[in-house]
Structure 1
C-alpha cells in the first residue's frame, strides 16, 4: 500500500464521516479509532527506515557472496572518532561515517582523516535536529544541501549517501531527497548504543543473531564505542566474518 493510497482512504473516511454527520448520524468512536490508527501507522512508517515505505533504503544484503558484515558510525566527526579510526586500522576494517555538517565545520581535520584512511563519508544533515520529523521540506532540503557544501569544502567529496537522523523518513524528507538525488542508507542491526550505558548489553545485541550481509549502526561520538568496537572486531574474527565497507556491501557509489 502506497502513501498516496493511504491518504485517499483516510480522505474517504473523513468525507464519509462528514456526510453521516450532515444526515444526523455521528459515528464518533469509529472515526476516532480510525484517526488514531492513521497517526500510529504514520509514526511507524516514518520512524522505521528499514520498511522502505517512503524511499528505498539500503539496510542489509543477505545475498552478498562472502560471509561479511558492514560497519557504520553516526554523529561525528568528534575527537573520539580518531580512536575509532585507529582501532579500525589495527583490524584492517573499513566503515562508513555519516557526518553532521556542523561537526565537520568544527573538526575538519578529523573529517579529512576519515577519508584519508580509506573510509567513506555520508550526509547526516547539517544540525541533526531532534525536530527532524516536524521540519518542512524546504528546511530539510537546506539541512541536506548545507551538509553537502561543508563536506565538499573540507573533504573535496560530493556525498551520494544520506542517513536520516533517528531513521526518520516521511513524505517531506522524501520530497527533499527527490531533489537532491541522495541514496538512503539505513541499517538492520541497531544496538541502541546512544541510549544504553552497558557495553556488554550493546555487544550482545549486535552479536546475538548476526548474519552475513548485516549493516551495523554505531555512534562514534560515544566514549564507550572504542571498547565495543574492539571487542566486536575480535568476535567477528572468531566467527570468520569479514568486514566490508557499506558501499561495497550494496555495490553502490559513495560519491557523485
Structure 2
C-alpha cells in the first residue's frame, strides 16, 4: 500500500498530539472525518494509487498514442465495437467478466483473434466486490484467469477492479496474484450520461497523448459515441493502441 500507511501514521501522530494538548472534542471529530474522507477518496479514485499501484496513463508518452479500454464484456454490442475498431485500424483492451465470457465465448474468441488485448475484470463483477475478503478477491481473479487462458493460452497480466474500487483486501490479493492493475485518466461516464454528445465532448476535452480512456462495450449508445470518437482521433492523427503498447508492459505471461 503506497499512501494508506502514511496517512495512518500521520493521523496517529496528530491524535497523540491532540491528546497531549487536550484539544476540544470537535478537533478529534474533524480528524476522524478527514481520515474517513481520504480513505473514501483513495478507495474510489484508482488514479490516486492509495492502496496499490495502478497505471492510469503514460504521462511520458510524447507520441500521439492513446488507449481505448472497454469494461464489462463480452456482450452482444461488442461485435459492433469490434467492427468499428477494425474499420479504423484501431486496437483496444477489453477487461472481461467471467460470467460474460461464459455467455458469449464466440465473441470472446473474436476479440482475441482480431489482435486485441484482454484483461481480467473478475469472474462475477459483484456489486459487493469492495466488501470481499482478500481470499474471495483472489478466487474471483483466478477463476476468471482460468477462463481467459482457454482463449489466450497465456496467463493474463492486466487486471482492472470492478468500479475501480481498491482497498487493503484488493491490494493483498493483487500482491498474491501478481497482476498489473490498470486504471484510467479519461472516464467517459458512458453508463451514467445519456446524452451521446456530452459523452463525446467529455472524452475529447480530456484526451491527450498517453491517455487511457474508459468505455463499456455494453450499449448501442457507446457504439455510436465510439464511431464519432474514432473519427475524431483519426483526424487528430492519434494511433489507437492496446494498453501493452501504450505502457510498454507485457499483457500476458507464457
Does structure 1 residue 5 correspond to structure 2 residue 6? yes
Does structure 1 residue 97 correspond to structure 2 residue 98? no
In terms of mean alpha carbon deviation, does 52-61 or 170-179 score higher?
Answer: 52-61
Question: Which of these two proteins has the greater Rg computed from alpha carbons?
Answer: 1
User: Are the counterparts in 1 of residues 112 and 151 from structure 2 also a CA contact under 8 Å?
Assistant: no
Does structure 1 residue 110 correspond to structure 2 residue 107? yes
Partner residue, 2:182: 185
| CA deviation map 1:181-231 (0-9, x unaligned) | 000111111120011111110000000242111111100012211111111
Partner residue, 2:63: 66
| CA deviation map 1:27-70 (0-9, x unaligned) | 42111111111111000011111112222221112322421211
> 2-side partners of 1:116 and 1:254: how far apart?
15
What is the aligned length? 252
1:1-256 matches, within 5 Å, as 2-12=3-13, 27-256=24-253
> 2-side partners of 1:143 and 1:64: how far apart?
33
Instruction: Give ranges in structure 1 of 5+ residues lacking alignment.
Output: none
User: Are the counterparts in 1 of residues 57 and 211 from structure 2 also a CA contact under 8 Å?
Assistant: yes
- TM-score under structure 1 length normalisation: 0.92
The alpha carbon displacement at 1:134 in A equals: 1.8
> 1-side partners of 2:20 and 2:102: how far apart?
56
In terms of mean alpha carbon deviation, does 207-216 or 89-98 score higher?
Answer: 207-216
> 2-side partners of 1:17 and 1:64: how far apart?
46
- TM-score under structure 2 length normalisation: 0.92
RMSD: 1.9
